[in-house]
Amino acid sequence: MPPLGQPPLLWLALAGLWAAAAQALRPFWCGALWGFAALALSHRWLLALHPLDWIGVPLPLSLPLCVALLVLIAALAGALVGLWVRLARWLDPRRVETALLLALLWGVAEGALAKGPLFWLGLGASALPGDRPLAALAALGGSGLVCSVQLLIGWLLWRLWRGQARRRLAAALLAALLGAHLLGAALLAAQPLAGPSQRVLVLQPAIPTRDKFTAPQQLRLRRQLLAALAQGAAQGADLLVLPEGALGLEPRLAEPAPIELISGGFRWHQGVEALQQRSSLLRFAAGEQQPSSWLDKHRLVPLGEWVPLASWVRWSGLSAVGGIEPGPPSRLLPRPNGALAAAICYELSDGAALAAAVRDGASWLLASANLDPYPPQLQQQFTALAQLRALETGRWVVSAANTGPSLLINPRGAVQAQLPLGVAGTALVTVPLLTTLTPYDRCGELPLLLLTAAALAWRWARRTPR
């Protein structure tokens, strides 16, 4: 599930990375190989895009294109890790101040990469689902802090394996493990769960993306939507949610919605020069047939939704609906019954944007995604990211995905309800609306940046004169 397995296997792999930084003859290439292998393992689900003939890619080119995409992003990760290892060699990784600085730099870099165009997993979510107390440290400093702590655990393991001052290092390792887990457990216990609530009905259509726009599947989706709206009205649901892109290109209901509806779909936006198509979460108030408000997707999938130099080269990309344009960066969706923070597809990897929306008044999180034709591995990674976002923000998370995972996660990162993967169905869940802010909600990445600056000053103060 994570790049190199859950703790403690990951910690052992990180210990090997520290060893390469100190002893390898070619540290950059050792680090690059480590990073390449880690990302190739964690993102191997990209191969499930094959075959791409359903979007016009010739079948003989489909698999080579998917393999080339995986190799490209793995090479990028390898280059970043290689540079980190080379920096570690230059700063002397045996020194504790160097270890602290490098661990924090990695955490800051992961936070920055999570805001970029790639679906970045990294080490922050690798503690989940098995080690929620360790992952709960994200409430203090986000996923970057969890990443940094695990790198320091790996450093202590490496130093212990080197056999110098073993008793002292064993005590330090034990203190780090116990301290991190006890602090995380205290954060979990202190996180409130109850509050005023809403009843949310989640619809998981389980319609294959490759056949989504065929007439039979469109008819099937309309029937599912009408049945879910009727079910929600009969069971007293306040809201029905559907996954990303569910309403397709014509977001108009056949009849007025009996309850509030939020669904993924597409809309036209009047830009400065021309109309722009956007992927959005569309909100229909009760009694409406057309959306009255929306939240546009901000982070678009490169090539899949957004094409570089599109103004010069008109190409629809790998999306079945053609190229689309990004919306504003805010993830806050105001509603009369309480604002929510929403992530569309892999926007879920950016915890800072959701924490900012919580700080602006969101009382729960909604993750809306398609995730088809990807295998269960990606769905498990998506679940881990949803758990991490719940821990960071102290909010309940509802996920609505086409083939899964459609689930409910509490603010302590525990999955409370989930629909079976790949099977059409509905789930009625109760979502408490919370207002308490975590330190990460209040301060975002600032504590991690201040710690990094302090570690840099410490390393500079203890530099060895040449």
Show which residues are catalytic.
244, 297, 345
CB 409 within 8 A of CB 392: no
Which pair of tokens denotes residue 86?
A: 């080379």
Q: How far apart are CA 186 and CA 424, in angstroms?
A: 38
Residue 366 falls in which region: left (phi positive, over 0), alpha (psi -120 to 50) or beta: beta
β-pairing verdict for 407-409 and 415-418: antiparallel
In a 10 Å sphere around its CB, with 0-12 CB exposed, 13-18 middle and 19+ buried, how is residue 65 labelled? middle
CB atoms under 10 Å from CB of 360, counted, come to 14
